[in-house]
Structure 1
Amino acid sequence: MPEIRSAIVIGSGFGGLALAIRLQSAGIATTIVEARDRPGGRAYVWNCDGYRFDAGPTVITDPACLEELWGLSGRRMADDIVLKPVDPFYRLIWNDGAQLDYSGWGERLEAEIARFAPGDLEGYKRFLTYSRAVYEEGYVKLGSVPFLHFTSMLKAAPALARRQAWRSVYSIVAGFVKNERLRQALSFHTLLVGGNPMKTSGIYALIHHLEKSGGVWFADGGTHALVEAMVSLFERLGGTLLLNEAVKTIRHSGTRVTGLVTRSGVHLEGDAIASNADIVSTYKMLEDSAYAAQKARRLERKRFSPSLFVVHFGLEGKFPGIAHHSILFSDRYRPLLDDIYDRGVLPNDPSIYLHHPSANDDHAAPPGRSTFYALAPVPHLGKAAVDWEQEASRYRDIVMRRVRDLLIPDIDERLEVCFHYTPQDFTDDLGAHLGSAFSLEPILTQSAWLRAHNRDDHYQNLYVVGAGTHPGAGIPGVVASAKATAGLMI
């Protein structure tokens, strides 16, 4: 492979930014091309009447993977952004009022489990041992390894088989604890990266140890402040960021890509192109390529993660009794997941992730007010062909009613700002195939070599980074994918 001296990165999500920082730190002149008016991809931000609304993601784990980006050039992340610990990590709430504060403090969490499910404390400790083991195998050893050849997957198979990777996260958890609600508490994390706990490989139980060892954090100033800090680092290193430049075409000749053209007519050339855009959209940018058209069709036949319906709202008043992160569980767990992942049914009893940044950040809202968002997993557009322009208002009422009934009885009287984001918006704003919020579903048959490869098999200098490639979605996942991809490019 010829040496790469210049590179173009399509998209400025966390994966694209992390890759661009690695390339620029290595002396590769890098340009990021971003379609939207702000960097960040899914980590967008809106400012409305003094309220700040982060689009997400809002849960930051494994800060060391981010600190490493600054360390590449001898800098410190703390000089650009402050991460605040979140405690508890999550407050889990059920409809009958039962609650479990889920934290990283060993003794405190064990005391909570002993209170919540007295007979399962020893089982939980055994699960923790399992989680630590799969963390070492699946995250430390394999998280930033590019699986370009099937043989590399075969080499990893024995270790994963020893950990029963073919079993689901829920099945693994159920083998350790008996209380159904504790099973939900220890398995819901896969939903944060687009995975169904009933089908996602048990390897993803590593998230529990990842959180316990590295903590759960919140960026001071919101998630987008972390994006801006990464952009600042990239630009100080000499990188270039172009905003409002949607890519129309990736140019190619033979087995190499040569450059791109944006919709506004900007032509860019580089020794390599890496895409942080949606994986299906990426291959559709390669016009007049029979290979790329076939690749896009193959990808379209894969299983994609669900979408999300998100309600952003600002309220009069402060809410010290509401945790930074809350999970409001539906009375249904497996049947609800079946509706979303398999049956394509829009549930009237959604489980909800409630984000309350005002719990840790007084600047997220005007004085005496609070910022929230309520997020409900919903089927993607290929599973449920919902007309969201017609359906959104009704579904927003369902989501807000859940929050009202469980936490804020007078939410309607306090409401000052409210807007929503639908699966159709994921498609329109982000080019997300079927409105999927997390790209390819993280199931065993779509993992490692069976996921989109970090370097394309045909175009030798076309690379992929982000949720669609190994290891998958979530900030640690896409930052690890950037490390894997950078290792191939540098």
Structure 2
Amino acid sequence: MKKIYVVGAGPGGLTSAMLLAHAGYDVEVFEKENFVGGRTSSIQLGDYTFDRGPTFLNMMYLVREIFELTGRTLEDYVEPVALSPLYELVYADKRFTVSSDYDQMIETISKTFPGNEEGYTRYLQETHKKLEALAPLLQRKMDSVTDLLAPETLKALPELEFGKSLMDKLGKYFDDEQLQLAFTFQSKYLGMSPWNCPGAFSILSYIEQAYGIYHLKGGLNQLTKAMAKVLEEQGVKIHLNTPIKEVVQYKKRIEGIRLEDGQLLHCDDVVINADFGYALTKLLNVPKKRQWSPQKIEKKQYSCSTFMLYLGIDTQYDLQHHTILFAEDYRKNMEEISGTKVISKDMSIYVQNPVVTDDTLAPAGKSTLYVLAPVPNNFSEIEWNEVKQQYRDLLIATLEERLGLTDLASHIEEELIYSPIDWEEKMNVYKGATFNLGHQLNQMMTFRPHNHFAPYENCWLVGGGTHPGSGLPIIIESARITANLMLERDGQKTFPIKPLPQELDYRITELSHAGL
């Protein structure tokens, strides 16, 4: 058995460890924190429990599939809850509730944006076909230019919408900019404004509506805890409180890892699940001439960061599980986040109010509010330690005014602030770019760091900084791609990939198969 070390116990590292252990490798996981999950972990403030990072769980079929590949059933470890409705969008003058039920969406669009019902049907039909074409690009390796010439890649290229932005694409279906934004807000988590984001990413909103959004009882952190439980059953050792000082290299091979305490451990392969920018600048010693080197990485494009408030409050508000509040001038807000990199006074805010779904997260009659404001990453050089209290107060005031959270400040019992500086210094997120490298076309597929990381023969990447990209289920898919590359190298049977399942609302499938 080959000895494989996995650096980092985030969802990518844990998934790769599960798959490789099931395939018969001798796997150990090393994690600097005293908990698993990385950004997909929990925060406990008194009697209140929060997810640290991801709170949207979509592509549930993929998560189930990974557990099935190790001979297990996801529901034996976690309790998924399908959300209905999915989320509420709040504009300056109206609210819009998004559902995975076709009839409900048609009714809501008819009331809120009349005249766009037929456009919504066409959006479902055409985006279903787009997803079918693009899905293989998210499921296979992209380690060389020849991968771009594979038949499924060539078939998908027209769907990448070269030269067409997401707003351009949505304008084909909807005549109201606010409705267009309802299908584009996910793009800011890819590091792009919807006015610059490639039109291919119209699939993101479609995936949510076609396959649903889920909560896990206890929070999404339960997923990585479940993965750790599977690894325990497989006999895989997870070393907590064990930071890595460096990945030890000799010529074109990784010889092992050196721990912070100086101990040198030898292995046959290393799988790196640390934040890519951090790993490249702190753990590896990549030659200057390589595309991905410490000297070149600052010139790449990165996602925004996030300013977080985790609030334990002594009351409950009338809020959906997920609420997205748009800045009154959303385009200016996006430009300030990713372009000029200044703090927006007119901000966009995401609020999770999970107690409407899960009463285990707070004491009776109380609630947890997870508040996220997209902000510039640390290339902005904003002195967050000096302005974070002022920005926090502005966030609270905005929630009180625009969401009607009356006297929110007076109801806070527990509070934690997490700024971009905290993401960088406490969680080793390069430049605080919470969602990793941006997803511009010149940083996707073969132009993104490869799962098999050259120039080393036995170095592998998983996570948001490699192909196919960021987002919890996509990170999980990166782990399967990496595991299959290792199995293929060793002449072993690879893990299969199922076709896309039928949509949550079967009528969407019927619409897309019926054509226009």
Superposed displacement of residue 35, structure 1? 1.3
1:142 pairs with 2:140: no
Q: Which residue of 2 aligns with 1:104?
A: 100
Q: Give the Cα separation in 2 of the matches to 1:358 and 1:19.
A: 32
Select the residue among 298, 305, 308 that pairs with 2:306.
Answer: 308
1:297 pairs with 2:295: yes
Q: 1:270 to 1:234 in 2, by over 3 A?
A: same
AA aligned to 1:256 is R
Q: 1:452 to 1:179 in 2, by over 3 A?
A: same
AA aligned to 1:148 is D
Q: Which residue of 2 aligns with 1:67?
A: 64
Question: Structure 1 vs Structure 2: percent identity of aligned residues?
Answer: 29
1:322 pairs with 2:319: yes
Asked if structure 1 preserves the Cα contact closer than 8 Å seen for 2:349 and 2:373, the reply is yes
Q: Give the Cα separation in 2 of the matches to 1:390 and 1:436.
A: 19
Indicate the SS of the match to 2:295: helix
Q: Give the Cα separation in 2 of the matches to 1:266 and 1:344.
A: 41
Q: Give the Cα separation in 2 of the matches to 1:196 and 1:5.
A: 44
Q: Which residue of 2 aligns with 1:396?
A: 392
Select the residue among 255, 259, 262 that pairs with 1:262.
Answer: 259
1:142-221 equivalence runs, <5 A: 142-155=137-150, 156-162=153-159, 164-221=161-218
Asked if structure 1 preserves the Cα contact closer than 8 Å seen for 2:288 and 2:295, the reply is no
Superposed displacement of residue 157, structure 1? 4.3
Indicate the SS of the match to 2:36: coil
AA aligned to 1:239 is V
Q: Which residue of 2 aligns with 1:133?
A: 129
Number of equivalent positions: 483
Q: Deviations over 1:266-304 (max 9, x none)?
A: 432211111111112222345665359862222221101
Superposed displacement of residue 92, structure 1? 0.5
Q: Give the Cα separation in 2 of the matches to 1:218 and 1:193.
A: 22
Superposed displacement of residue 158, structure 1? 4.9
Asked if structure 2 preserves the Cα contact closer than 8 Å seen for 1:88 and 1:101, the reply is yes
Q: Give the Cα separation in 2 of the matches to 1:481 and 1:387.
A: 34
Select the residue among 79, 82, 87 that pairs with 2:84.
Answer: 87
Q: Which residue of 1 aligns with 2:485?
A: 488
Asked if structure 2 preserves the Cα contact closer than 8 Å seen for 1:37 and 1:244, the reply is yes
Asked if structure 1 preserves the Cα contact closer than 8 Å seen for 2:286 and 2:293, the reply is no
Q: Give the Cα separation in 1 of the matches to 2:338 and 2:68.
A: 40
Q: Which residue of 1 aligns with 2:374?
A: 377
Q: Which residue of 2 aligns with 1:354?
A: 351
1:273 pairs with 2:274: no
Q: Which residue of 2 aligns with 1:120?
A: 116
AA aligned to 2:234 is L
Asked if structure 2 preserves the Cα contact closer than 8 Å seen for 1:247 and 1:285, the reply is no
Asked if structure 2 preserves the Cα contact closer than 8 Å seen for 1:135 and 1:207, the reply is no
Q: Give the Cα separation in 2 of the matches to 1:283 and 1:47.
A: 31
1:214-229 equivalence runs, <5 A: 214-229=211-226
1:282 pairs with 2:279: yes
1:233 pairs with 2:230: yes
Superposed displacement of residue 476, structure 1? 1.4
Q: Give the Cα separation in 1 of the matches to 2:412 and 2:341.
A: 31
Indicate the SS of the match to 2:88: strand
> Is the deviation greater in 411-420 or in 434-443?
411-420
* TM-score of the pair, normalised by structure 1: 0.95
Select the residue among 356, 375, 383 that pairs with 1:387.
Answer: 383
Q: Give the Cα separation in 1 of the matches to 2:280 and 2:160.
A: 35
Q: Deviations over 1:89-110 (max 9, x none)?
A: 11011233x1111010111111
Q: Give the Cα separation in 2 of the matches to 1:466 and 1:115.
A: 41
Indicate the SS of the match to 2:294: helix
Q: Which residue of 1 aligns with 2:466?
A: 469
AA aligned to 1:434 is K
Q: 1:185 to 1:297 in 2, by over 3 A?
A: same
Indicate the SS of the match to 1:130: helix
Q: Give the Cα separation in 1 of the matches to 2:404 and 2:186.
A: 22
Asked if structure 2 preserves the Cα contact closer than 8 Å seen for 1:283 and 1:292, the reply is no
Superposed displacement of residue 13, structure 1? 1.3
Asked if structure 1 preserves the Cα contact closer than 8 Å seen for 2:188 and 2:334, the reply is no
Superposed displacement of residue 194, structure 1? 3.7
Q: Which residue of 1 aligns with 2:439?
A: 442
Superposed displacement of residue 341, structure 1? 0.6
* TM-score of the pair, normalised by structure 2: 0.90
Q: Deviations over 1:206-244 (max 9, x none)?
A: 112211232100011111112111110112111111111
Q: Which residue of 1 aligns with 2:492?
A: none
Q: Which residue of 2 aligns with 1:252?
A: 249
Indicate the SS of the match to 1:290: coil
Q: Give the Cα separation in 1 of the matches to 2:333 and 2:126.
A: 27
Q: 1:122 to 1:15 in 2, by over 3 A?
A: same
Q: Give the Cα separation in 1 of the matches to 2:286 and 2:315.
A: 56
Superposed displacement of residue 407, structure 1? 2.7
Superposed displacement of residue 133, structure 1? 1.8
CA RMSD of aligned residues (A): 1.6
Q: Deviations over 1:351-388 (max 9, x none)?
A: 00101111111111112100011100000110x21111
Select the residue among 409, 413, 418 that pairs with 2:415.
Answer: 418
Q: Which residue of 1 aligns with 2:404?
A: 407
Q: Deviations over 1:35-82 (max 9, x none)?
A: 112111111222112011211200000111111222123211111101
Q: Give the Cα separation in 2 of the matches to 1:400 and 1:268.
A: 48
Q: Give the Cα separation in 2 of the matches to 1:162 and 1:191.
A: 20
Q: Give the Cα separation in 2 of the matches to 1:361 and 1:249.
A: 41
Q: Give the Cα separation in 1 of the matches to 2:261 and 2:282.
A: 15
Q: Deviations over 1:397-425 (max 9, x none)?
A: 11111111123112122121122101001
Q: Give the Cα separation in 1 of the matches to 2:327 and 2:284.
A: 45
Superposed displacement of residue 449, structure 1? 0.3
Asked if structure 2 preserves the Cα contact closer than 8 Å seen for 1:11 and 1:35, the reply is yes
Where does structure 2 lack aligned partners over 5 or more consecutive residues?
488-516
AA aligned to 1:105 is D
